[in-house]
Structure 1
Amino acid sequence: MANPISDDLHLYKKIPRKNSVGRTIDFIILFLLFSLLVYRWLNLNNHGLTWLLAFLCESWFTFTWVLVTNIKWNPVEYKPYPELLLQRVPELPSLDMFVTTADPVLEPPIITVNTVLSLLAVDYPAHKLACYVSDDGCSPVIYYSLVEASKFAELWVPFCKKYNIPVRAPFRYFSSDPLRFGDSPKEFQHEWKKMKDEYEKLSCKIEEAVQKSAPPFDLTGEFAEFSNIERKNHPTIIKAS
């Protein structure tokens, strides 16, 4: 039985493009190529091996040219309709998103955190999204940052979806001029200030963990597996948040 959603809500439209001039030029080139090949073939006996090699090379060139031209023969444009995406939730596949990092000094944890937060806040059904972070350096600071970021995400993700925030990486969003929101509703302004305060608190916690030789957490409990870890030689540690 056909799915009515599939029939009525197309995520894109294929629009053919006119290519009259291009096709005319291609026909002329093809005619010239075939004329050259016929000329070579009819005069092989008069010129010997040299023309035979030239004929074989030009035949191969003509063959590859026809293949390439065939691919471009019917150009089309695709017009997407992203606003219809969420109306097709039953058909959307589950997505696994991977973020990799290896060094909390060369790759500051706040950048990794912003990447994860922007991925968690995308316009996609939450129950079909999974985000994985791979840290080759096995840094407890990275894990600590992600734990704190998961708490912030409980506020950030609903905020983005409620107000349809276009830029969902917090550091980029909050770097905007706050005066541009002067005409926004009071409720939005209040929540915007609250979210910015929460993000600044998160940034301070992560920055403190990076700069201090002794991070603001003990390597016990959920951090116990990170004790006595060598960055370049360590067992696999899997954590869920």
Structure 2
Amino acid sequence: MVINTVLSVMAYDYLPKKLGVYLSDDGGSCLTFYALLEVSQFSKIWLPFCKKFKVEPRCPEAYFTSTPEPHHDDPLMVEEWSSIKKLYEDMRNRIESTMKVGQISEEIRKQHKGFGEWDLVSDPRNHQTILQVLLTVFYALQAYPIILI
């Protein structure tokens, strides 16, 4: 649910210079960090798709469950729709699988230095402040930051 909220807000049609997306996780969870890392990658495709095709609703879960696969004269739209839906489902499945296990694999931990903030001593009640900028997307020459605090 968090990933859909973040993606939905990022795709909001608002002045890009005045829109920032922040997520505060008071539990300091590396699982939330992982989910946002996945979202940051997917947003590079989702945000331009939303703008190009004027997507509504902008929440990927709501969009793909409420919008039937397009079958019209725009083959580019049909191809992109199918591709992005598959990418979204793959991302969602990776996040859900990781959440079920309850920990981040070593393979995933190696993908981003931010995972180094969690060690054997850190827990939701005893951890340092973690501030990591995951992504700045240049979308129509404007920056959209996602920040995890």
Give the TM-score normalised by the residue count of structure 2: 0.80
* Matching residue's letter, 2:104: P
Q: Distance in 2 between matches of 1:202 and 1:139?
A: 19
* Matching residue's letter, 1:145: A
Q: What residue in structure 1 maps to residue 89 of structure 2? A: 200
Q: Distance in 1 between matches of 2:32 and 2:20?
A: 18
The match for 2:75 among 183, 186, 189 is 186
Secondary structure at the aligned position of 1:135 is classed as coil
Q: Does 2:117 match 1:222?
A: no
For structure 1, which runs of at least 5 residues remain unmatched after alignment? 1-110
Q: Distance in 2 between matches of 1:214 and 1:132?
A: 23
In the TM superposition, what whole-angstrom CA distance separates every residue of 1:13-35 from its partner, at most 9, and x where no partner exists? xxxxxxxxxxxxxxxxxxxxxxx
Q: Does 2:65 match 1:172?
A: no
Q: What residue in structure 2 maps to residue 212 of structure 1? A: 101
CA contact (8 A) 2:98 2:104 kept: yes
* Matching residue's letter, 2:71: G
Q: What residue in structure 2 maps to residue 127 of structure 1? A: 17
Task: Return the offset for 1:183.
Answer: 2.7
Identity of aligned residues (%): 35
* Matching residue's letter, 1:126: P
Closer, same or farther: CA 152–128 of 1 in aligned 2, 3 Å: same
Whichever structure has more helix as a proportion of its residues is 1
Q: RMSD value over aligned CA atoms?
A: 1.8
Closer, same or farther: CA 210–187 of 1 in aligned 2, 3 Å: same
Q: Count residues with an aligned counterpart.
A: 130
Q: What residue in structure 2 maps to residue 153 of structure 1? A: 43
Q: Distance in 2 between matches of 1:239 and 1:184?
A: 43
Give the TM-score normalised by the residue count of structure 1: 0.51
Q: Which has the higher contact order (CA 8 A, sep 6+)?
A: 2
Closer, same or farther: CA 177–127 of 1 in aligned 2, 3 Å: closer
